[in-house]
Structure 1
Amino acid sequence: MGLKTNTNWTLVPGTTRDIDAVRERCRKLVRRRAMVSAGVAAVPIPGLDVVSDMRLFAQLIDDINHEFGLSDEQIEKLQPKFRLIAYEAAIGVGGMLIGKVVTREVVTQLLRRSGMKVVARQAGKMVPLAGQLAAAGIGFFAFRQIGYQHVEACAKVAAKLVTAGVAHDGALARPA
């Protein structure tokens, strides 16, 4: 179950059931990190939540990619034709963070896309208690939504690789 590895091979989840199990583990991880994000958002220090979210989110993306066998290093270990399938599938599902080294700039760009939520959270902090609770709620739902989207994108890419035969036979991947 989960990421198939041995001393010589690094592969994506091997079956649809494995993908579903990895998806659920990653969704739990997203929810836990979203709770941490919400907790930080409730602290009435402007900007603290944005810095925290950037760090939490970058680590979350790396963890999800790794769980699905789609980190930069893992994809590079695939045969070239499977690497191409992985990147084409990632583009096809809008998974701009699949197989990428997540940098501060990439996370900043992603958080900017949800800019209204960040502005609402910051504005909410100006109103005592109710504003802090609103900021925490907005932070939780925004973080969770972005995380879930990435999990689903990774699951689709992993499914395409399974369909292509990557995880069914160790001979289809390159030695590590």
Structure 2
Amino acid sequence: MPSSSQMAAGDPDLAAAVRRARKLLHRRALVAAAASMVPVPGLDWAVDAALLSRLIPQISAEFGLTAGQIDQLDPSKREQVQKAVGLVGSVLIGKLITRELVLRAAQTVGLRLTTKQVAKYVPLAGQAVAATLGYATLRYLGEQHLRDCVQVVQEARLQLPAPASISTARK
């Protein structure tokens, strides 16, 4: 399966949006890794859910695919985007991100999350494994969403929002 960068190759605006989203994803995954090292039951799950509930809309915003951005499109373009979302099969694009949606996405990597819970109670090595799995899990879910966003933008031939307007929307 091609990465989001490979999928965006040839379109400089789309490639730039992927780079910005990946930078954001990397920072959040580092936070998830740090939370995974703390041996408090359930803390890392709560942190992962909180990070994902903020990260997914931020990634979507890079591509003009938040619910608000889609609502502002003209009706024909909105229909194209909705058809593309249906083709991709994403449950996260253009939706208000709720705890239930985050948990549904996390179920796809349930074994990693369970292993992370068990591993962190083994001194040092286990915490390192838990941190690695915490990073990899968030990174995997974010990259999956990134690929979905790129595919929807390409299918719908969507014009990306200007980067400056994205940073003001985040505040």
Q: Same fold (TM over 0.5)?
A: yes
Matches within 5 A, 1:78-89: 78-89=73-84
Root mean square deviation of aligned Cα: 1.6
Are residue 135 (structure 1) and residue 127 (structure 2) matched?
Answer: no
Task: Name 2:4's counterpart in structure 1.
Answer: none
> What letter is aligned with 2:135?
F
> What letter is aligned with 2:112?
K
Aligned residues: percent identity? Answer: 40
1:46 to partner: Cα distance: 1.4
Do 1:46 and 1:125's aligned partners in 2 also have CA atoms closer than 8 Å? Answer: no
Do 2:25 and 2:55's aligned partners in 1 also have CA atoms closer than 8 Å? Answer: yes
Task: Name 1:6's counterpart in structure 2.
Answer: none
| Equivalent pairs, count | 151
Structure 2 unmatched ranges of 5 or more: 1-9, 161-171
Q: For 1:94 and 1:135, locate their aligned partners in 2 and report how far apart those are by CA, in whole Å.
A: 30
**Which protein has the larger Cα radius of gyration, Structure 1 or Structure 2?**
1
Task: Name 2:85's counterpart in structure 1.
Answer: 90
Structure 1 unmatched ranges of 5 or more: 1-14, 169-176
Higher share in helix? 2
Q: TM-score, normalised by structure 1?
A: 0.81
Matches within 5 A, 1:20-35: 20-35=15-30
* Equivalent in 34, 45, 52 of residue 40 of structure 2: 45
SS of residue in 1 equivalent to 2:40: coil
Q: For 1:145 and 1:118, locate their aligned partners in 2 and report how far apart those are by CA, in whole Å.
A: 12
> What letter is aligned with 2:159?
A
* Equivalent in 24, 44, 50 of residue 55 of structure 1: 50
Task: Name 1:4's counterpart in structure 2.
Answer: none
